[in-house]
Chains A and B, each alone.
Chain A
Amino acid sequence: MQFFFEVLIAGLLSGVMYSLVALGYVLIYKASGVFNFAQGAMVFFAALTAVGLHDLGLSLWVAVPLTMAVMVVLGLVTERIVLRPLVAQPEITLFMATIGLSFFIEGLAQAIWGANVRGLDLGIDDVPLEWLLDHANMAISQFDLIAAAIAAAMVAALAIFFSKTKIGRALRAVADDHQAALSVGIPLHHVWGVVWAVAGFVALVSGLLWGARNGVQFSLTFLALKALPVLILGGFTSVPGAIVGGLIIGASEKLAEVFLGPYVGGGIDGWFPYVLALLFLLVRPEGLFGEKIIRRI
């Protein structure tokens, strides 16, 4: 039983990391209806830039804020030169544009920083927390706990941002109806710029955490794919949904791997989340917390 909980908690904590990646998608999708395929590339770009600057001799305290600035600029530029000319185009066009964008950003990152795997040390040790080991005899990684705390703080901040602030409300308004938002004087480009900048920030945080855990390398871009089942489960438009979805995916893939894996030869954590998402799609296509499709009859 103790082992079960150990696996469960480890799963939940890694789920939080998925949630972080999924958050970036939710932000942009919520505000502009664009599924930003380039989010994974942005995570990669952010992590690589931070590490690259760090390797140049800057301390993390300088490198991270600098990367933050770079990500904000990248977000604003993307909005300006990729999305703005495509206003009022079909969603599929915008989606294709973000696919192109993701290749561009991946290429740009590697052109600037090279394609080598780099290590990132945030100064948080990935060791079991001693207190828990002593008292409950459970091995829970300290790193995972801190990462989860950071993610939780970010989610709380975003939730407040969306529901309580003027710009947050404007974001949701724009997501609902561009034309109407324009008609009440909300400047779309301004709002979209903010969203892309915030998404850049989220990409940086998840890039740092994932980079510290797995090393900063090209495979970070595949996080994008790991976020998909999270989004399907939680709903594309919900910040809390991204969190709960991440937790479910994280926990279930670890539990499945440990307890079901042995029967089928192991390695099921790679595909289990997708099967789960697929089953979920049949039952609740808008996701657990996704906005219900409102239709008046």
Chain B
Amino acid sequence: MTAQTASNTVPAPAAAKAYLSVNNVEVIYDHVILVLKGVSLDVPEGKIVALLGANGAGKSTTLKAISTLLHGERGEITKGSVEFRGERVDRLTPNELVKRGMVQVMEGRHCFGHLTVEENLLTGAYTRDIPRGELKASLELVYHYFPRLKMRRSAQAGYTSGGEQQMTAIGRALMAKPAMILLDEPSMGLAPQIVEEIFEIVHDLNVREKVSFLLAEQNTMVALRYADLGYILENGRVVMEGEARELSANEDVKEFYLGLSTSGRKSFRDVKHYRRRKRWLA
């Protein structure tokens, strides 16, 4: 009865209002290592935003700063703020943040290896106090998007394939009924075909479930194809931002991140020089 009225008053998950803004965030690890040097970015409601950059550029750190998982890794936000749906969230615990509709899917998937796939999914609903029927419905929703997980539901997650683990991790996040998912390196270690499959599902979730995504990716080509907007990080700073389409058309991005170039092969020394100059101009 109560469940019914609740679903009537809140038709779509509060996703419609999702809005994340990161303002000039600085992150220091272990009190000495400056990793983010003032990162600002916005995720508009209902969009997929890609956070791009090389190894060590600060993509994962940015996501963890937003999801407040930094504390467990001896990192801390020393400047700036993070706002989610108009509320300052950088002092919250991960638990409070999940309750407000933001979940992170960590890099390297991090499934609970000894739990079955289904149990993994169920832990995702920890923060929701819902009756059994509603829980079942959420589970079915996840199985609808990831039919493969339904087949593997009683397998121990530790024994499933990398792709299935990534799906489990995303499905688990979905169980929290989030308005926004922070997706860290979903393509890591997966075959191109599986990567494609996972991005298709991300796209579906974005369109049909109205979930906003901020995804960190090294696979620039795939990420820009599915994203609406993109930010490029270098050494803990945003060096470029814009519409995904513009970014993938940008000569510099093509050169540095997509490995495409109109002017043929260049010697490595030229590239380095060019890149260095460009970076400071950007």
Chain A residues packing against B (C-beta within 8 Å):
87-88, 166, 169-170, 172-173, 175-187, 291, 294, 296
Contact = CB atoms under 8 A, between A and B. Distances in A.
Interface of B: 67, 69, 72-74, 93-95, 97-99, 103-106, 110-115, 119-120, 122-124, 126-127, 156, 158-159, 169, 172-173, 175-176
A182 B94 contact: yes
Contacts, number: 85
A182 B124 CA distance: 10
Given A178-B72, A179-B106, A182-B72, A294 B113 contact: yes
B172 to A, nearest CB: 6
A180 B126 contact: no
Given A172-B112, A176-B112, A296-B158, A183 B119 contact: no
A172 B114 CA distance: 8
A186 B126 contact: yes
Contacts of B156: 294
Contacts of B119: 169, 172-173
Given A88-B74, A294-B159, A183 B123 contact: no
Contacts of B103: 183-185
B95 A185 contact: yes
A176 B115 contact: yes
Contacts of A88: 72-74
B79 to A, nearest CB: 24
B114 A169 contact: no
Nearest to B126: A186
A169 B69 contact: no
A291 B112 CA distance: 13
A47 to B, nearest CB: 33
9 contacts: A173-B120, A176-B113, A176-B115, A178-B72, A180-B111, A184-B123, A185-B99, A187-B93, A294-B114
The DSSP consensus for interface residues of chain A is: helix
A184 B72 contact: no
Contact of A176 (B94, B114, B124, B159): B114
B124 A184 contact: yes
Contacts of A185: 94-95, 97-99, 103, 126-127, 176
Contacts of A173: 112, 115, 119-120, 123
Nearest to A178: B72
A181 B158 contact: no
A181 B94 CA distance: 10
Contact of A177 (B110, B159, B175): B110
A183 B176 contact: no
A179 B176 contact: no
A175 B123 CA distance: 13
A87 B72 CA distance: 8
Given A182-B95, A185-B98, A294-B114, 6 more contacts: A172-B114, A182-B72, A184-B98, A184-B172, A185-B127, A296-B158
B15 to A, nearest CB: 17
Of all A-B residue pairs in the complex, the 4 with the closest CB atoms, nearest first, are A185-B98, A294-B158, A180-B110, A176-B112
B269 to A, nearest CB: 41
B114 A170 contact: no
B105 A183 contact: yes
A294 B160 CA distance: 11
A186 B123 contact: yes
Contacts of A179: 69, 72, 106, 110
A182 B126 contact: no
A37 B67 CA distance: 35
A180 B112 contact: yes
Contacts of A175: 114
Q: Which of A166, A173, A185 has the most CB of B within 10 A?
A: A185
Contact of A183 (B106, B122, B159, B175): B106
B72 A169 contact: no
A175 B112 CA distance: 9
Contacts of B93: 187
A179 B74 CA distance: 13
Contacts of A296: 158
Contact of A169 (B73, B74, B94, B123): B123
Contacts of A183: 67, 69, 94, 103-106, 110
A130 to B, nearest CB: 47
A185 B69 CA distance: 10
A169 B99 contact: no
B60 to A, nearest CB: 12
Nearest to A172: B115
A177 B120 CA distance: 11
Contacts of B94: 182-183, 185
Contacts of B173: 184
Contacts of B175: 184
Contacts of A172: 112, 114-115, 119
A88 B72 CA distance: 7
A185 B182 CA distance: 13
Nearest to A186: B126
A180 B122 CA distance: 13
Nearest to A187: B95
Contacts of A291: 114
A294 B97 CA distance: 31
Given A182-B72, A184-B124, A177 B95 contact: no
